[in-house]
Each structure stands twice: as structure tokens, then as C-alpha cells.
Amino acid sequence: MTKNKFNPISWVPTLYFAMGLPFVVLNMVSVLMFKGLGNSDREIAFWTSLIMLPWTLKPLWSPFLELYKNKKFFVVLTQLMGGLIFGLVALSLYTNYYFAISIALMFLIAFSGATHDIAADGVYISSLDNEAQAKYIGWQGAFYNLAKVIATGGLVYFAGYLIEQIGAVNAWAVIISICSLLLAGLGFYHIKFLPGGEKSNETGSWQEAMQRLGDVLKSFFLKKHIWIYIAFIILYRFAEGYAIKIVPLFLKADVALGGLGLTEKEIGLYYGTFGAVAFLLGSVLGGYYISYRKGLSRALFTLCCAFNLPFIVYLLLAVYQPSSGFWVSAAIITEYFGYGFGFVGLMLFMMQQIAPGPHQMSHYAFATGIMNLGVMIPGMMSGYLSDWLGYQGFFIWVLVATIPAFLITYLVPFTYPDKIESK
């Protein structure tokens, strides 16, 4: 049963599609856009990593959203703001200083998107009872990932088509405008169809919000084994942090420069569609594997291997530079399947070993924020390394960067029992 008259099927899918769209466009699609507009790998990787900072810091201002209006207000406001600012990004592409202007605007979108995530999760939790939350969790994840498929698959593919017809600047302006219309349209839709997510009574003033934030932070850093847990969630994705920005740039780069010379249409198909489907399949099977192994502690090292070892496919692509779409897509599917299979282990570890306690939701948010920081920092350095080492040398470095993940995964302690007993 839901706590209000709004049918969850009318707003849960659209809410989480709106959550996924800005994150994917800023984190992945913008990389290909700037590459197609002639920017260097170094500046693309650094700045498109840095603008993701608000998603790391969002737990710091989450208590203050309780002080004004309700959660629906912030969801609708950030969707409309995000749509407006995406429109400004599209216009900025026609200026001489498009890179600096668009990066600044994208940082505002990131701040708006991170705030949206806090409020959207609040609406979901406060508007649905436990039974309904469990019932619609699948819709939540499916439509968040649908945003990824549409953005990195459909929109990137469409960009490739438009580039052939109207040129790169006009093509990308159209694509960003589509993102603007989608997000703004969802904002207007949710004015009518989104439940309120009533204002909490837990926080009544700025002083109380600051005190609550301090209590959450203090209790988080006093948890048993917390520092090794922090090292674990950073190092688990350390290699990915390097690879995530450079892989699309490598796929797009000319063969003469060590890349694969793929078009946006090919990247949209291989990277955004086949890869996204492989990720979903890997995620489902990863969950079943944990259940089969009777708990995360018995499965974690294998999950880490599945997550990190497939990065070798990009080294093979850099060495052999195949022209066959079959081999390129097979490599991307392999890496994305392993990514999905192994990623569930990290998420479950944060839920089961870091989050438990009196501030479970807040501590989980802090853990995910630290995790994102661990991806952002190597992402900022990745462009410098790829320029210095070349693509082959860079992907060798990515494999070296996986070693700390294997070591700490093997040694990490478990505070809470995690074994699944047979019935």
C-alpha cells in the first residue's frame, strides 16, 4: 500500500529517469561532445571529472533541504532548472569560449542534479511504505539505467547521424537541447503527478540541521574499521576512475593517434547500447552469485576480479586496433558485463558493512559520496596520463591500478554477519 493517492507507476519511472539523465550526460555524453568539438583529452578528462564533485558532496547539504517547502518542491525546481541550464549549454556551443562557459553551466547542472537526487529519494521513501518500496525498486533501477541507454546509446547515435547532416556544433546543440526539453518536460509533468514528500519535523532550524550533520559525521568516522572501509571503497573503483573518461576518447580518436576511429553512431551502438545491456545482465547475475555463495564475504574477491580484470580488453584494443565492429563490441560487452557483475559487490558492502547503525541512510550517502570522490580524482588525472603514456601505456597503467583493489579486497574485515543461511 502507498501512503497517498498517487499511483507509483505514474511517477517512480519518470522520477528516476530524470535522476539518471543529467548524471549520464555530464559524466559520459559530454566527453564525446567535447572530443568531437576538438578539445584535448587532457582538458576533457580533468574538467568533466571535476564537475561531478556535487554528487560527492551532496550529503553535506541534505539536512538543509528539510527547512523549506517539501521534497516535491525541490524535485520540480531542480528538473526545471536543469532543463533551463541545458538549454544555455546548447547556446554556449556557438560562442568562442564555449568550453569554459559550458563547463561552468554543467557544474550548475551537477549541483542541481545532486540536490534533485536527495529530494527524489526522499519522495520515494516518504511516499511509499516498506512493501511498496520493495515492489517498485525494480522500476527505480530500470529507468535510471534506461536514461543511460537513451543518452549514451540513442542520443550519441543520433548525434553521429546529425553530424553527417549539419556539422558537429549544430548536431551537439540539438542533442543538448533534447536533454533540456526532456528534463523540463519531466518537471512540468511532476508538478501534477508527483506526491509531495511531506516536510520532515526532524529538523526545524539551521542550528539543528548543523547539529544533526555533525552527529552524522562523527558517528560515521567512529565506526569500527571505517578507515580500511574507506580505503576499500576508493581502491575498488580506482582503476575505473582512470579508465572511465579515456575509454570513449580512445574509441573516438583517430587510428593514426592510437585510437579506434569510431564514429559517434558506432560508439552509441557499441558503448551505449550493447554495453548498457551487458551491465544490466551482469548486475542481475552478480546478485544471484552472492546468494549462491551464501554471502558477500565469500563472493567479494571474485566480484572484485570480475570488476577489474576485464579492463585488459582495452589494452588489447589499443595494441591491435581492430577495425571489426564484432571485436570492438565484444570487448566492450565483456568489460561492461564484468562491471555490472562486480559493482553489486561494492554497493552491497556499503549497505551491509558501512551503513548499519542509527544513521543508516545518511551513512550510506556518505559512503557513496566517498566512492564517487575515489572515481573523480583519478578521472581528473587520466587525461594527463594518457597524453604522456599514449593509449597503450595508459591502459597498462590502468591494469597496474587494479592491484591495490585485489589486495585490500582480500584483507578487508567484515563487522556484521553477512552469510546467507540455507533454509
**278-321 tens-digit pLDDT:** 888 888 788 788 878 777 888 889 999 999 999 999 999 999 99
Residue 222 pLDDT exceeds 70 = yes
Query: Any idea which residue has 588489447 for its cell?
Result: 316
Average pLDDT over residues 246-266: 91
Query: Any idea which residue has 553530424 for its cell?
Result: 163
Grouping H, G, I as helix, E, B as strand and the rest as coil, residue 128 is strand
Percentage with pLDDT > 90 across the chain: 50
Of 182 and 153, the structure prediction assigns the larger pLDDT to 182
Query: Any idea which residue has 547539504 for its cell?
Result: 61
Max CA separation in the chain (angstroms): 66
Average pLDDT over residues 92-121: 93
What is the Rg, in whole angstroms, of the alpha carbon atoms belonging to the chain? 21
323: exposed, middle or buried (Cβ count in 10 Å: 0-12, 13-18, 19+) = exposed
Average pLDDT over residues 22-34: 93
**φ and ψ at 2, to 5 degrees?**
-95, 165
Residue 198 pLDDT exceeds 70 = no
Distance (Å) of CA 68 to CA 65, 119, 162, 385: 6, 12, 43, 45
Evaluate whether 78 touches 111 at the Cβ level (below 8 Å): no
CB count within 10 Å of CB 65 equals: 21
Residue 382 pLDDT exceeds 80 = yes
Q: Kindly report which listed range (149-153, 196-200, 262-266) carries the lowest average pLDDT score.
A: 196-200
Percentage with pLDDT > 70 across the chain: 91
Q: What is the DSSP letter of 163?
A: H
What is the torsional sign of CA 250, 251, 253, 255? positive
pTM over 0.85: no
